[in-house]
Amino acid sequence: MGDILAFAEQHEGSIRSGSYEVVSAAAQVAAGLGGATHALLLGSPGLSGAAGRLGAYGADVIRVAEHEALASYSPEVYAATVADAVREGGYTAVVFAATSQGKDLAPRVAALLDVPLASDVTGIGTDGGGVTARRPVYAGKAFVRLAIDATPAILSIRPNVFGASERAAAGTIESFTPDVTEPKSRVVERKAAEGASVDVAEASIVVSGGRGMRDPENWNLLEDLREALGPEAALGASRAVVDAGWRPHGEQVGQTGKTVAPKLYIAVGISGAIQHLAGMRTSQTIVAVNKDPDAPIFGVADYGIVGDAFEVLPRLTEAIKVLKHGG
Amino acid sequence: MNITVCIKRVPDTETRIRIEGTEIDTNGVKFVMSPYDEFAVEAALRVTESLGEGEVTVLTFGDDSSQETLRAALAMGAHRAVLLKGAVSMDGLATAKTLVPELETMDAPLVLFGVKSADDDQQQVGPMVATLMDRACVTAVSAFEVGEGGVRCQREVDGGTETVEVRTPAVLSITKGAFEPRYASLKGIMAAKRKPLEEKEAQAAPSRLQIEQMDYPPERPEGRVVGEGPEAVDELVRLLREEAKAL
Ligand SMILES: Cc1cc2nc3c(=O)[nH]c(=O)nc-3n(C[C@H](O)[C@H](O)[C@H](O)COP(=O)(O)OP(=O)(O)OC[C@H]3O[C@@H](n4cnc5c(N)ncnc54)[C@H](O)[C@@H]3O)c2cc1C
Ligand SMILES: Nc1ncnc2c1ncn2[C@@H]1O[C@H](COP(=O)(O)O)[C@@H](O)[C@H]1O
């Protein structure tokens, strides 16, 4: 019986917070199938100093591939390095995060290893010694359970669904210098989205605005709420406001935007069209603020306020501030 | 420059899904070209139109009914179409392996995919094809420019955007962005009927992802309206903290 591998992401030398969840999910698979949990981290020399915390989330062994060429994500170079590490480690399963990096990387690794990939999974089963994956299809209108008929089983998990669980143990760090391949692409520029510290697809709280916000100028009300909720919160948007040019497409939630599953999703002035629901219906708790009591968004919302966003938002922001900072 | 676009026939996103066993009941379901594939077809047409040379080929792996989807792309302006007939599965690597031999016979320095299909949503066939063909590949491309021997792409990444350059031959997967698809004109629809559509039996690779079960999404527990207007805020925050433990 082989071990289970979690691919951990780093950004500028710090481990991305979603990686702890991937390690915890891998540890859960290891608990079902047997074997130890390994984490694999790629980056520049010296990165192993930042790797220790992965142990606290379930990694027994933390393998750190250190090389200048791995400092930032480079598709072919990363894919070849990960595929080599998987072959060498003889893993039973490999878990990625379905982040933009994971979605780019996992299919390439799967193709190099000649095994299928179950993407964006929301549940993993290990009954009977094999790996099954539960995942949404038809834009979340149905779910399938897939039996993965290959070793290693490769999965990417939807952020925020599995959760990271801490334990009182540390992992062993093993750093190594891999042979690297030539990149086939060159990043000439990187631009961070304004204001956001965390992407909407990975945030644990999402504050989303729709056409009911009336004007892009009014986004300061949503921005205030986001800020009050803290650094784990991000802004989202409906397609209507992205198409109108009020917000960047990177914020769009839904069928032709991002799929999110935060702990808390707050939809303000969003009607709740089926294509929007496709992107957020697996959120843990959904709040809707809409002036139309018949808006379909109330059909999926756990808590709704029927009312004018311009009256509700300032009060909500105030109440959150009081809650978080005592005023 | 010749461009090949891989497209897929999927249920219209407005469609209600009825599950039968481990499949959906396709009776009465309207099928369309997957929305991201429409962006990709549009992108390819714009490149060949602006260069004033090159042909756009659309390729699909599917059953006979996919002819309709190919004709829709021809009506938009694609020049020719190829249908690889066979049973499609959720295993994107099997799909990639079925497409690659056909792509290898084509002289297309640029192969475009949608970033994801609207039915399986596996987000994988494009980069898998590129990996199997040992070609450069940029995913989630929202805009690109073709230059001398290469392509410069805008891509969306978590928390921002990137500009990436690759040499051709290359594979791109297209997301929403600069390529709002055109409507087919009546002339285009008429012309599409006479454009070449080649059918072949697919050498389909076996699927290694078996659907054991298909079910509807878990019902969300009955929601409730906390109240009306700003007066309801305090109760909402209390519920979020004490009941949902979301704050
Ligand atoms: C192929 C396809 C793909 C699509 N993909 C997506 C996608 O990815 N994401 C997406 O979001 N949509 C998508 N759509 C579009 C979708 O169908 C809807 O048109 C869109 O979601 C509507 O956006 P909205 O809710 O902001 O606007 P509207 O539907 O116009 O709703 C505005 C809401 O604001 C409320 N409102 C108005 N004033 C106020 C106020 N003062 N206070 C409080 N509430 C107020 C109104 O009651 C209404 O419910 C797609 C459509 C298609 C056909
Ligand atoms: N059966 C198919 N035939 C042709 N192209 C396909 C097929 N399935 C997927 N694709 C292409 O691969 C993209 C991504 O699909 P997926 O990996 O299923 O999300 C689609 O947008 C299409 O461009």
Per-residue pLDDT reduced to its tens digit, A29-53 = 999 999 999 999 999 999 998 899 9
Q: Does A136 touch chain B (CB under 8 A)?
A: yes
Ligand 1 binding pocket, CB closer than 6 Å: A 210-212, 238-241, 252-257, 269-271, 273, 275-276, 279, 289-292, 295, 308-310; B 13, 35
Least confident window among A125-129, A237-241, B193-197: A125-129
Q: What is the pLDDT of residues A81-111, one digit of tens each?
A: 999 999 999 999 999 999 999 999 999 999 9
* CA–CA gap between residue A264 and residue A206 (Å, rounded): 6
* CA–CA gap between residue A227 and residue A321 (Å, rounded): 9
Q: Are B73 and B5 in contact (CB under 8 A)?
A: yes
- Let me know if B64 is exposed, middle or buried by CB neighbors in 10 A (0-12, 13-18, 19+): exposed
Beta bridge partners, B213, equal A145
Measured between CB atoms, which of B14, B208, B229 is closest to A274? B14
Please report the pLDDT score of residue B223 as a whole number: 86
Residue in B closest to A289 by C-alpha: B229
Q: Does B117 touch chain A (CB under 8 A)?
A: no
Of residues B74, B69, B83, B66, the one with CA closest to residue B195: B74
**Any ligand 2 atom below 6 A from CB of B117:** yes
User: How long a stretch of residues is chain B?
Assistant: 247
Q: Does B87 touch chain A (CB under 8 A)?
A: no
* Cβ contact, residue pair B224, A304, below 8 Å: yes
Q: In percent, how much of chain B has pLDDT > 90?
A: 91
Mutation pick for ligand 1 pocket among A255, A265, A294, A313 (CB with most ligand atoms within 8 Å): A255
A38-75 burial, b for 16+ CB within 10 Å, e for fewer?
bbbbbbeeebbeebebbbbbbbbbbbbbbbebbbebbb
**Any ligand 2 atom below 6 A from CB of B102:** no
Please report the pLDDT score of residue A196 as a whole number: 61
The ligand placed nearest to the CA atom of residue B90 is 2
Please report the pLDDT score of residue B62 as a whole number: 98
The ligand placed nearest to the CA atom of residue A252 is 1
Rounded to a whole number of angstroms, the distance from the CA of B185 to the nearest CA of chain A is 23
Q: What is the pLDDT of residues B179-191, one digit of tens each?
A: 999 999 999 999 9
* CA–CA gap between residue B147 and residue B150 (Å, rounded): 5
Rounded to a whole number of angstroms, the distance from the CA of B102 to the nearest CA of chain A is 18
Q: Name the pLDDT band for A325 (thresholds 50, 70, 90).
A: confident
Please report the pLDDT score of residue A195 as a whole number: 62
Residue A19 CB: number of other CB atoms within 10 A?
A: 25
Residue in B closest to A122 by C-alpha: B217
User: How long a stretch of residues is chain A?
Assistant: 327
* CA–CA gap between residue B32 and residue B18 (Å, rounded): 17
Whether A198 has a pLDDT exceeding 90, the answer reads: no
Q: Which residues in chain B land under pLDDT 50?
A: none
Question: What separation in Å is there between the alpha carbon of A274 and the centre of ligand 1?
Answer: 9
Region label for B76, one of left (φ > 0), alpha (ψ between -120 and 50) or beta (otherwise): alpha
Q: What is the pLDDT of residues B199-224, one digit of tens each?
A: 999 999 999 999 999 999 988 888 89
* Cβ contact, residue pair B208, A150, below 8 Å: yes
A84: enclosing H helix or E strand: helix A75-89
End-to-end CA distance of chain B: 54
Please report the pLDDT score of residue A295 as a whole number: 97
Question: What separation in Å is there between the alpha carbon of B10 and the centre of ligand 1?
Answer: 23
Whether A197 has a pLDDT exceeding 80, the answer reads: no
How much is the pTM? 0.93
Q: What is the pLDDT of residues A250-304, one digit of tens each?
A: 899 999 899 999 999 999 999 999 999 999 999 999 999 999 999 999 999 999 9
Whether A70 has a pLDDT exceeding 90, the answer reads: yes
* CA–CA gap between residue B96 and residue B143 (Å, rounded): 24
Q: Does B38 touch chain A (CB under 8 A)?
A: no
Of residues A121, A267, A187, A319, the one with CA closest to residue B153: A187
